[in-house]
Amino acid sequence: MKVSSVFKVRSPEIRALHLTWIAFFITFYVWFNMAPLASSMLKSVDWLTRDDIRLFAITNVALTIPARIIVGMALDRFGPRRVFSVLMVTMSVPALVFAFGDTMTQLLVSRLVLSSIGASFVVGIHMTALWFKPRDIGFAEGFYAGWGNFGSAAAAMSLPTIALTMYGGEDGWRWAIAQSAIVMAAYGVYYWFAITDGPDARAHRKPRKAAAMEVSTWGDMIKLILWTIPLVGCLGILVWRIQDMGYLSTTGAVICYLVITAVVIYQVVQILRVNIPILKKGVPEDDRYPFSSVAALNSTYFANFGAELAVVSMLPMFFEETWGLNAATAGLIAASFAFVNLVARPMGGLVSDRMGNRRFVMLSYMFGIGIGFVLMGMLNSSWPLVIAIAITIFTSFFVQGAEGATFGIIPSIKRRITGQISGMAGAYGNVGAVVYLTLFTFVTPTQFFYIIASGAFLSWLICLVWLKEPEGAFDEEYHISSVDRMIEEQEALKAQPGKG
């Protein structure tokens, strides 16, 4: 696939790509509509504090973790068209509540619920995988994610101006946020009627069970359990931090911990229920896949997308305070980190397609991330602003490219459960954000950048040991196993009148 192909809008797959990245763009615009308006909120609402804003930043990524898992399962069962449309319409409600909330409870709860919108990324990844061939998937996924992810940069660049010039006054930030929510709901309705799940009905392949990810060996089942526990368990960090800041009572915290524990136990039980019968029967050789590769990509998304979410949330204020800039200028400069998405993420996928070795590309990008954040950790007010911007762009180039490389691999691991693998890896991106943003409340920005660099180098090491080059990653078609054909035959029988 050539870069120029994205202009062939009459092509069904290119049209689907554009419809989907626009949906993703809008959801990310809404998801990150708070950070660039944080200073305006503090000036407008006299009872809000800087610690409150930091708390909102953590809650803004919290429920994305379980949401991506749930959405991953829903994708494999219902298809991305329905899931994306419903997600956009329903998430406009908490966005509107946050816009006009006038109590701490309203702002905190609505921001927490709205964090589920982060699951939108996984939906579009799955939709794009249904429309494009293995040999082109890296660039297609990278273009989708890069241009869609630009929504966060667009929010940083435009929302302060919209709030100040279009609406003005102390409540300008409220109307700017509300406007983004209304646009998202309208596009959600449009998307339902504008697209299908792949070029034909056979594109969307359902797994045997959507309740949990299928694995190939008993050892892989243990690994799946171990990698599943932190996905919801890390929400305990959020509960602890909210309690520590005085926003949650001891009783409330205990209830939250019990709920988190119950959810973790439920997930483990589902993994056992789905996989024990499959493993006892035996998994055919042509249907097996290495879960270690999934685990390695979980770590890459923890280290790259987790870093991006965390840095995008704190970078406007970092530039504002370090170089004494106003909110609009700081937001515009900080947006350079996400602005690179337009080029770097599609390039990461394209390089993954062209190099003929997706594993090598992944390793190279993760090492680059570590170097970039080490350089950002060295920044302070004595550095020229132009150099700081250049280093930020350099780091972002590797961060976004690594994200593109990650999802250049995922669709080729196991076609039938792409939704669940995407959901898990995507959720680990938010685990990274929660961990990083929580650590940020205790450290200086310099220390924060060094911590993120350490996470990138650790992920590089994990990939070096565990990540395997996926088979058929550059083929004309995705591998169809004997189990895939069996499921397809069973679905066809159910669809026949009188057979279901």
Check pLDDT > 80 for residue 207: no
> Residue 497: its pLDDT value, please?
60
Q: Which of 60-64, 206-210, 325-329 has the lowest mean pLDDT?
A: 206-210
| Cβ–Cβ < 8 Å for 33, 160 | no
Cα-based distances in Å from 474 to 6, 92, 121, 354, 357: 20, 39, 23, 9, 9
- Identify the band that residue 378 occupies on the pLDDT scale cut at 50, 70 and 90: very high
| Cβ–Cβ < 8 Å for 214, 208 | yes
Rounded CA separation 326/328 (Å)? 6
Tell me the pLDDT of the chain averaged across its residues: 85
**What b-and-e string marks burial along 2-35, b requiring 16 or more CB atoms within 10 Å of the CB?**
eeeebeeeeeebbebbebbbbbbbbbbbbbbbbb
Higher pLDDT, 142 or 477: 142
Q: What is the mean pLDDT of residues 192-204?
A: 78
Give the model confidence (pLDDT) of 83-127 as tens digits: 999 999 999 999 999 999 888 889 989 998 999 998 898 898 889
Give the model confidence (pLDDT) of 310-320 as tens digits: 887 788 888 88
Highest mean pLDDT among 71-75, 158-162, 312-316, 342-346 belongs to 158-162
| Cβ–Cβ < 8 Å for 153, 335 | yes
> Residue 317: its pLDDT value, please?
80
Rounded CA separation 418/20 (Å)? 17
Q: What is the mean pLDDT of residues 356-362?
A: 85
Percentage of residues in the chain having pLDDT higher than 70: 92
| Cβ–Cβ < 8 Å for 422, 72 | yes
Give the model confidence (pLDDT) of 1-37 as tens digits: 566 677 777 888 899 999 999 999 999 999 988 878 8
Give Cβ neighbours of residue 366 (< 8 Å, ≥ 6 apart): 300, 303, 304, 402, 456, 457, 459, 460, 463
Handedness of CA 471, 21, 232, 310 (dihedral sign): positive
Check pLDDT > 50 for residue 182: yes
Higher pLDDT, 35 or 366: 366
Check pLDDT > 60 for residue 187: yes
**What b-and-e string marks burial along 162-193, b requiring 16 or more CB atoms within 10 Å of the CB?**
bbbeeeeeebbbbbbbbbbbeebbebbeebee
> Residue 500: its pLDDT value, please?
47
> Residue 86: its pLDDT value, please?
95
Give Cβ neighbours of residue 499 (< 8 Å, ≥ 6 apart): 493
> Residue 237: its pLDDT value, please?
82
Check pLDDT > 70 for residue 472: no
| Cβ–Cβ < 8 Å for 403, 28 | no
- Identify the band that residue 261 occupies on the pLDDT scale cut at 50, 70 and 90: very high
**What b-and-e string marks burial along 296-307, b requiring 16 or more CB atoms within 10 Å of the CB?**
bbbbbbbbbbbb
Q: What is the mean pLDDT of residues 363-376?
A: 94
CA 329 to chain centre: 27
How many Cβ atoms are within 10 Å of 63's Cβ, its own excluded? Answer: 22
> Residue 479: its pLDDT value, please?
63
Q: What is the mean pLDDT of residues 137-144?
A: 81
> Residue 366: its pLDDT value, please?
94
Give the model confidence (pLDDT) of 409-463 as tens digits: 888 888 778 778 888 888 898 788 888 888 887 888 889 999 999 999 999 999 9
Count helices and strands in the chain by DSSP H and E runs: 21, 0
Q: What is the mean pLDDT of residues 67-82?
A: 82
